[in-house]
Amino acid sequence: MGSLRDTDPHSRFSDLRPDEILAFEPGGPKEEEQRHRRFSWCRVGKRSEYFRQTPGLLAHITSLVTEHGAPDPTWPTVESIGKGHLRTRTKLVLPTPVTGETVTAADGAKILGMNKNTVASRVHRKMITPVGKDEKGHPVYYVEHMRFLIERGREWMNRKQPAAKSA
C-alpha cells in the first residue's frame, strides 16, 4: 500500500518497489493512512509496507480492480529489477567481510542509525542474507554488508545529475 503523494505511479512504485502490484487506488496520504488503519491487523510488521493476503484484503483488491481497472504492467516491481535503470541492472556484489562482526537486523539498524524497515526491505529483496543465528535464534547479518549498502545508497543519492541540454 502506498499513496502517490503528488507524483505519478511510475515514480512512486519505483521508490516503493513492491513485490507485485495487485491493484491501484487513486488518492493521497489521507487515503493511504485510512487503508493502513483498516488493514493494520494483517500487516507483516508493525509499521511495514508488507501485508498478509487475507480474504478481506483480497476482496478489497478485487473491488479496486473492478472499479479502477488492472494496474499498469509497466510500473516498477521487484521483478523489474535488472531490466531498467543502470543501478538496478547492475548485479549487487557485496564485499568479503573482514571483521566477521554480525548483528540482528534490529541491532544493525540501531547501531548504524538505519530505519528497521530499510533493513527488512534489504533482507526481503535478498540484498543481504543471514549468515547464522544469535543465541535467541534470530538471523544475523554481516555489519560490513549493512555499511556497504548504506554507502552505496549515499553515493547513489549524491551522484551528479547529467546537465540539461540547452536548446
pTM above 0.85, yes or no: no
Q: What is the pLDDT of residues 49-96, one digit of tens each?
A: 788 889 999 999 999 999 988 877 777 677 766 665 545 555 678 889
Mean residue pLDDT across the chain: 80
The whole-number pLDDT of residue 135 equals 95
3-state secondary structure the chain: CCCCCCCCHHHHHHHHCCCCCCCCCCCCHHHHHHHHHHCHHHECCCCCCCECCCHHHHHHHHHHHHHHCCCCCCCCCHHHCCCCCHHHHCCCCCCCCCCCCEEEHHHHHHHHCCCHHHHHHHHHCCCCCCCEECCCCCEEEEHHHHHHHHHHHHHHHCCCCCCCCCC
Could you tell me the three cell numbers for 100?
566477521
The whole-number pLDDT of residue 16 equals 66
In terms of pLDDT, which residue wins out, 88 or 43?
Answer: 43
Q: Which of 13-27, 70-84, 94-108, 114-128 has the highest mean pLDDT?
A: 94-108
Q: Name the nearest CA neighbour of 48 among 135, 108, 120, 129.
A: 120
- 167 pLDDT tier (thresholds 50, 70, 90): very low
In terms of pLDDT, which residue wins out, 138 or 164?
Answer: 138
Half-sphere exposure (CA, 13 Å, Cβ side) for 144?
10
